[in-house]
Structure 1
Amino acid sequence: MMHTANGTSRKRMRGDRILRLKTFCDPGHPVNFKGSSFRENVSSLLEFGCRAEGWNGPGTDCWTFQLEVHRNPPACISLFVVEEQVEMSDSLRCHHCTSIGWGRHMVCNKRYHFVLPSKKTLGRSNGPNCEVRETSLLAAVRESRLMSVRGELMHGVVHSNGFGHLLAVNGFEAGSEVLSGHQILDLWDRMCTGLGIRKVSLTDTARKRGMELRLVHAVAYGEPWFARWGYRFGRESYGVTLQMYQRSIEALRCLPLCLLVPQYGTTSRELPAIIAKYQAIAGHSLVSLGQLFMFMMELKDRLPPDAFTTVDYHRITMEPACRWSTKRLEMAAQVIVDALKRANFKWVSRQDVRDAARAYVGDTGLLDFVLKSLGNHVVGNYVVRRMVNPVTKILEYCLEDVPGGNPSHCSRSSSGDTVNVRMRMQTTRVQVRKDLIYLYKCILLGQNLRPAAGIFTVIPTAVRYILDTKHLLKDYRKEITWENAVMANSTIKLLCTVCVRNRGEQEELSQPVTPYEVLTFPGHATLGDIKTTAERTFKEIYLGLKTFTSESIVDVACGDSELILGTIESGSRVVVSGLIVEGDGGQDMYEGGNGIDGLVNCACGVKEDDGERMLNCDFCNVWQHTRCVGIGDGKSVPPFFLCTHCENGISLLPSLLP
């Protein structure tokens, strides 16, 4: 159980109540979001939070929500929501915006951090009067460096304009004790939907059992793991376009298994055996690598953690407590199964099963020993299930058909079909996982296999393109078409943005400098109200527009006293032109700052910053990826670097001298 550090035993108030994790941010849990913007909705949510005493730093405010994971056994976790004043933060600009292509967005006044802290980073003692101890999360809040928080179960940051980034998701694989990655993503997705967040980016580096999930899921399902929540290709990296990415996935998924075995079978004995085993288990033709991966992953999910196995009578006879032969054990087990069959697949108490079997087996010690050994094992064409009745607390048994077939079918089927069914039952989730990892390493990573030839030369390139595609994006407002909005309840909705000019300049900027915001006006509002509301709204959102003054509405020649109704149609896009004080319109207004756009010219074809590791030429100042110039991730950047173009140019200088 995780508790909020209130430090007091005051009476429970509205902000202290426990909310259900599965319904948090659904309508009415805890609030019905009615605002048209993220700022309005997050303010409504924070009214139901509890202020976290002792967690406030310079320019930050913190609230907590107690979320109930499950009731039996009771388990809760704290969700921290930190409001950060960007002007007082050590990170004025957000490099995640640059990575996803939002570098030309203006710096916002506020950032909101949604954090599910891990038990390790929370570091608080239990009890009614918990004391806050210095932890990485608390230190980050106090020092205003929240963008550098690491190791939490979840960390999402949303700018006040509604654009955000999911920075961390750590489920059971990363040490979570109560929440899986699926539960965390479900919670985050509900929050984004309820709060009216516009777009969310993430960098897909998820791994499981040493495998890159974006590669495994691409081969199995044709899309990344995060696609279950609507995240898709967001931006090019290393010059990999959406078309290159899709073709790489298709190339790997369509690789024929009938050619894989001859190509790699001579250097790997396990590979043909694994492919043949799962083709037999499937009961239908697995033709391509994509079909094989998808079947194995779905089979792994269907198998229970304690998968059923056939009774190993030889192993049982080796136990010290066993004094019977294999033949007598098999006979007693069959008698017990026959007794359970007469119960028509209903649960039967242990005593009733024992009494029914005693009519054929007089040795009660043998019956007791076999009954103890049969739990969750396959005998013939049946699974013998064993459990304690939760009401009577009595041990009970029943029979189940072998999954994937029924007894009558198995008895009439060929011997090959029966072998396939038993093979499926003998395959455990752990074994499927091991086989999947082996195929991943051998086929996709090319470990322990001879160099690829023929059509298989495409594998390394396709794998690299998929692994390079890490920047994913979800547009939560994609389905909203404001152009088709109609006037309702005597209100008018407009999509509004601003373009600014410095004092003394006569020409306005050719492009708006901010994303469009939804502004709502009453039916009697005037054009002057648009200018006033836009000025106030954009001052609240953006740090660089603190001195913005609206002057006119672009392409609208009417006066300020004219009514909106009849002049501008509801749902239209409106651009408000204005002025900012000289000196406030520098590059610090933008998330990308001065940036390096226009100075990027890498051999991979990239012409702008894509968030990957780069270095610049000391002669021409052009930026290139370190990987593209032969400097690996683990290597340090040399103190002096010349790009190929400058290096070749300098090498020609001696020949030009007289």
Structure 2
Amino acid sequence: MANNIFEACKRMRRKNPKIPFPFDSFPIMGSFKNLNYGPFRENIRLFLQEFAEKFEDNAVPGWGHHFVSKRKYHLIIPEVDYWKKPLKDNFLDVRTHILYGLIHCNGYGHLICINGVKAPSNFLSETDAMNLWDRICSTLCTRKVSVRDEINLRLLYVVGYGQSWYGKWGYKFSHGTFGVRKGKYESAVEYLRSLNLDKIISDFKNKSRGGRIKQIINKYRGVVDIPLITLSDLLKFMLGFGGRARVQGKTENKVVKSSCQHVLKRRDNEEPTSFDALVTSIANSCRWPARRVEHVLKQIVNLLKQNKGGCDGNYGVSRYEMREELRKCVGDTGLIDFVLKSVNCFAIGNYVVRRSLNSSTRRFEFSIQEVLEEAEPDCQWPEERVEHASEVTANILTENSDEENTMPWRELQDKARECLGETQPIDCVVHSMDNPMIRNQSISRTRKPSTNKFELPIQGLIKDAQNDTMECSVAEDALYLYRSVLFGYRDTHPLSLATKAIMDSKYFVKEWCFKEHNLDPLIALSCLFLPSFDELETELMRPLSPAVVVAVPLSSTIGELKVVAQAAFRDTYCIMDKFVASQIGGLKKIDENKVVCHSIEPSSPVWVRGSGLDLGTTLRYEDGAQRLTVDCCCGAKYDDGERLATCEVCNVSQHTRCSGIAEKEGALSDFLCSDCVAVSRRK
């Protein structure tokens, strides 16, 4: 049967073929903006009068169990190079169009392909094209649109954001292949999203790729200001980072600026809060007296001193540990919590107490430092010179630290003198350090108890032969995690099974609902054809086709509704070209003299009985008259679009993948299903 297909109207083109329409407002333009929000089959006619030309071609199948629609509308934005050329005969098979969607006249359609324009101007991205498609469907009152998600590396997006890329426009899981159902898909997504990054590092620590996986995870943990705990946290940050920006360059700039900020703060003579001032400030903002606040602060100092004496280099105490220890000597947890959150940096005697964020654990810790006896020089150099000194410091510490990741201060000064010819800028930077991050390394200045000399311990130093991978782009890092983590476990591991379930979930659908308030003074009704019992048992054994939508005045009678419904069915489906409606109502006929608004709820389906179906036509169902019987070991009971092999004995079809047949093998003429193989073996 011939089918109407429509091409972009030439009269709407502008001198610049790359801007055929104002995409931000299309299709709400011209007389079409006066649309009355009626059924799709009526709206599309108005749309075609305004924007399109037509020609003839063959139909494209879809929505397999539906009756064959009389018209299918192809909405296409071809590639830029073809804007001034007519569409080729094979345009239905082309998947390089900027946008290609197909909608049946019953309002059900498919988004076949969508591609951004790969041009320097980037005048229409995939997101722009998708926004345009969504506006067209909404304006025309489309009912449902399906899409097959074939985006490269789509698994990364699902794990990062918890939905497919099309989910941003409301497309939800429709059905999977190889027996995957909605519950299995959602469980797989949740499992992968909640996978702990430390668990991944542990799983691969004894494998060849474990070093780089750990390196990538730690690199992004050092860049971002929020904790990256799960695989979802990491991938979401990477996908939103901004293309192929070099992370290492950003990290170094951040570190240098951080070091400079420490120096510049010293120029402003920023000092820790005095102990008495802190006690007064806290007491004035809480219900506890000053003496109790003072007692808690002194206990904090004592606990930090004890912890410092029992540790070698790392004096940090987590907030949880501090809280538990204070409860032993204070008791009032409300007071403890209030004081702990009020402490930032204060001085008491020859010590400075700080609360800071640990760069490796991403948790707040309390530490205490003894006031240095040496006079700390003020920084007298311009910012550019301080930045250079910070960079030299990073290089020296990275290349010359010992096995314990420490370096004596005097040795650092000697190395700096070789590079800069002087040590004063380095002294200014080092004296100003307060656990800054330099290339994923936490640097601090402490006095070693055994030698009573200052050293620079480096926490989290990465010494790996693959340090050059730090220069990899975000896209390369994401691709490595995709291949090495998501597809790096054994086939029977839960992660591999979850990955497989998501990869087998390709079909998504969006449903639009009628906005009844926009139809006033009309009422929108969904009319469902109800076949006779004989037709249901012998001819129409598949699920019923979707309802046709009609819009009638509120004052219409049931008899008038019957006439409108009959015309709508005839206009929509080939098999109902000569359909005659006999009654409104399913088992019980509704009096034709009654008013529609008093007899039918707008949200309820309207059953329509009648006769005159052309049961002899070959245009009965969209997927053809032949219906495969599918019974596969994966659980599939219908043709899900994957490659099938049909048993020559029982005519039951099974997936070739589930039957162990390679994709490269040709058509099989002697295939036997698993049940028939078992029967033949018993014989």
Task: Specify the TM-score bucket, using the shorter chain as the normaliser.
Answer: 0.5 to 0.7
The separation in 2 between residues aligned to 1:506 and 1:617, in whole angstroms, is 27
- Higher CA-based Rg: 2
Q: Per-residue deviation at 1:57?
A: 4.0
The one-letter code sitting in structure 1 at the alignment partner of 2:216 is: I
| Root-mean-square deviation over aligned CA pairs | 4.6
The separation in 2 between residues aligned to 1:550 and 1:199, in whole angstroms, is 26
The separation in 2 between residues aligned to 1:637 and 1:587, in whole angstroms, is 26
1:170 paired residue number = 115
Any idea what SS the aligned residue of 1:274 has?
A: helix
Q: Does 1:111 align with 2:111?
A: no
1:547 paired residue number = 578
Aligned residues: 491
TM-score by length of 2: 0.62
Q: Does 1:203 align with 2:148?
A: yes
2:56 paired residue number = 58
Deviations along 1:10-30, whole A, 9 cap, x unmatched?
A: 999xxxx96311221347795
Q: Per-residue deviation at 1:105?
A: 1.1
Of residues 606, 611, 629, the one that matches 2:641 is: 611
Q: Does 1:241 align with 2:192?
A: no
Q: Per-residue deviation at 1:112?
A: 0.5
Q: Does 1:515 align with 2:546?
A: yes
Q: Does 1:634 align with 2:664?
A: yes
Any idea what SS the aligned residue of 1:291 has?
A: helix
Q: Is contact 1:254-1:289 (8 Å) kept? A: yes
The separation in 1 between residues aligned to 2:389 and 2:129, in whole angstroms, is 42
Any idea what SS the aligned residue of 1:238 has?
A: coil
The separation in 2 between residues aligned to 1:573 and 1:256, in whole angstroms, is 48
The separation in 1 between residues aligned to 2:9 and 2:539, in whole angstroms, is 52
1:186 paired residue number = 131
1:291 paired residue number = 233
Between the aligned residues of both structures, percent identity stands at 28
Q: Is contact 1:410-1:418 (8 Å) kept? A: no
2:437 paired residue number = 417
The one-letter code sitting in structure 2 at the alignment partner of 1:106 is: F
Deviations along 1:556-582, whole A, 9 cap, x unmatched?
A: 54543444354444554211111115x
Q: Per-residue deviation at 1:111?
A: 0.5
The separation in 2 between residues aligned to 1:309 and 1:430, in whole angstroms, is 13
Equivalent residues in 2 for 1:233-272 (5 A)? 233-266=173-206, 267-268=208-209, 269-272=211-214
1:278 paired residue number = 220
The one-letter code sitting in structure 2 at the alignment partner of 1:633 is: E
Closer/same/farther in 2, CA of residues 580 and 435 from structure 1, 3 Å limit: same
Q: Is contact 1:501-1:508 (8 Å) kept? A: no
1:525 paired residue number = 556
Q: Is contact 2:246-2:472 (8 Å) kept? A: no
Q: Is contact 1:162-1:198 (8 Å) kept? A: yes
Q: Is contact 1:618-1:640 (8 Å) kept? A: yes
Any idea what SS the aligned residue of 1:155 has?
A: strand
Range with bigger deviation, 278-287 or 180-189: 278-287
The separation in 2 between residues aligned to 1:631 and 1:379, in whole angstroms, is 63
The separation in 1 between residues aligned to 2:174 and 2:647, in whole angstroms, is 28
Q: Per-residue deviation at 1:110?
A: 0.3
The separation in 2 between residues aligned to 1:430 and 1:190, in whole angstroms, is 39
Range with bigger deviation, 282-291 or 160-169: 282-291
Any idea what SS the aligned residue of 1:627 has?
A: coil
Closer/same/farther in 2, CA of residues 652 and 532 from structure 1, 3 Å limit: same
Range with bigger deviation, 617-626 or 555-564: 555-564
Equivalent residues in 2 for 1:593-612 (5 A)? 593-596=624-627, 599-612=629-642
1:580 paired residue number = 612
Q: Does 1:49 align with 2:51?
A: yes
Q: Is contact 1:235-1:472 (8 Å) kept? A: yes
The one-letter code sitting in structure 2 at the alignment partner of 1:438 is: Y
The separation in 1 between residues aligned to 2:653 and 2:161, in whole angstroms, is 36
Any idea what SS the aligned residue of 1:19 has?
A: coil
Closer/same/farther in 2, CA of residues 119 and 515 from structure 1, 3 Å limit: same
Equivalent residues in 2 for 1:64-83 (5 A)? none
Q: Is contact 1:171-1:180 (8 Å) kept? A: yes
Any idea what SS the aligned residue of 1:414 has?
A: coil
Q: Per-residue deviation at 1:536?
A: 0.7
Q: Per-residue deviation at 1:166?
A: 0.4
Any idea what SS the aligned residue of 2:132 has?
A: helix
The separation in 2 between residues aligned to 1:563 and 1:622, in whole angstroms, is 51
The separation in 1 between residues aligned to 2:100 and 2:503, in whole angstroms, is 23
2:655 paired residue number = 625
Deviations along 1:455-512, whole A, 9 cap, x unmatched?
A: x9222211111100001111122xx586xx89943x4443222224599999997998
Closer/same/farther in 2, CA of residues 593 and 504 from structure 1, 3 Å limit: closer
Q: Is contact 1:527-1:563 (8 Å) kept? A: yes
The one-letter code sitting in structure 1 at the alignment partner of 2:671 is: F
Closer/same/farther in 2, CA of residues 509 and 271 from structure 1, 3 Å limit: closer
Q: Is contact 1:486-1:570 (8 Å) kept? A: no
